[in-house]
Amino acid sequence: MLTDHTLSFLFTPPIFLISLTIYEYAHAWLAYRYGDDTAKRIGRMTLNPLAHISPFGTIILPLLVNFGWANPVPVNFSILTKKQIFNVAAAGPVANILLVIILTIAFHLFRLRVMPLLGNFVLLAILFNIILAVFNLIPIPPLDGSRTVYANLKSPEAIIAYKNYSRFGMLVLVGLFLLAQQQDSHGGNRL
Domain boundaries in the chain? 4-185
DSSP one-letter code for 187: T
- Comparing CA positions, the residue from 135, 153, 132 lying closest to residue 83 is 153
Q: What is the mean pLDDT of each run of 10 residues along the chain (191 residues)?
A: 79 94 98 98 97 93 84 97 98 98 97 94 96 96 96 95 93 87 68 38
pLDDT value for 136: 97
Q: Which long-range contacts (CB under 8 A, 24 or more apart) does 53-61 make?
A: 53/17, 58/16, 58/17, 58/20
- Comparing CA positions, the residue from 191, 85, 59, 60 lying closest to residue 146 is 85
The alpha helices in the chain, defined as continuous H runs, are 4-33, 38-41, 61-65, 82-109, 116-136, 144-151, 156-166, 169-185
For the question of residue 24 being annotated catalytic, the response is yes
Helix (H, G, I), strand (E, B) or coil at 98: helix
pLDDT value for 104: 98
Residue 119: burial class (beta carbons within 10 Å; 0-12, 13-18, 19+):
middle
Given the residues 15, 24, 44, 150, the one annotated as active site: 24
pLDDT value for 188: 56
Q: Please state the pTM of the whole predicted model.
A: 0.90
pLDDT value for 34: 98
